[in-house]
Amino acid sequence: MTELNAYIVSYDIRDQKRLYRVHRTMKGFGEPVHYSVFRCDLTPKGKVEMVAALTDVIKCEEDRVMIIDLGPSDGRVEARIEFMGVHPEELERKFIIV
């Protein structure tokens, strides 16, 4: 079985309609952890599919998407993410792209 990698995906979308479409697209790949920020556990194929889906939605001349690879989803990911202030609820893993 292919190992999953954890990704943080953050986006800045200039148009409200595209912002909604990007958010809806990202819900198919991960869980929201902050406004315009998602945590995704994906296979290499899942990451390619996510990038392709986002490419179809955004306007590269106006919008920006940042994808941070946190490495293997092996239980140590949480140690690489630090929060200040109100702590988010424990992520409920609903989506695993294989």
Residue 74 has pLDDT above 90, yes or no: no
Q: In this structure, which amino acid lies at residue 46?
A: G
Tell me the CATH number at 30: 3.30.70.240
Q: Cα(80)–Cα(29) distance, rounded to whole angstroms?
A: 20
Q: Is residue 47 part of a domain?
A: yes
Q: What are phi and psi of 61, to 5 degrees?
A: -75, -20
Q: Is residue 82 part of a domain?
A: no
The overall longest dimension of the chain from CA atoms, in Å, is: 39
Range of the domain at 19: 5-74
Is 89 within a domain? no
DSSP state, 2?
A: P
pLDDT at 87: 64
Domain total for the chain? 1
> Higher model confidence: residue 87 or residue 19?
19
Instruction: Say if residues 6 and 70 touch (Cβ distance below 8 Å).
Output: yes
Q: What is the mean pLDDT of residues 45-72?
A: 96
In this structure, is residue 20 part of a structural domain?
A: yes
Q: Is residue 62 assigned to a domain?
A: yes
Strand order in the sheet with 5-12: 31-34, 37-42, 5-12, 64-72
Whole-structure pTM value:
0.81
Does residue 57 carry a pLDDT above 60?
A: yes
Q: How does pLDDT run across 18-31, given as a tens digit for each residue?
A: 999 999 999 999 99
Of 3, 2, 15, the closest CA to residue 58 belongs to 15
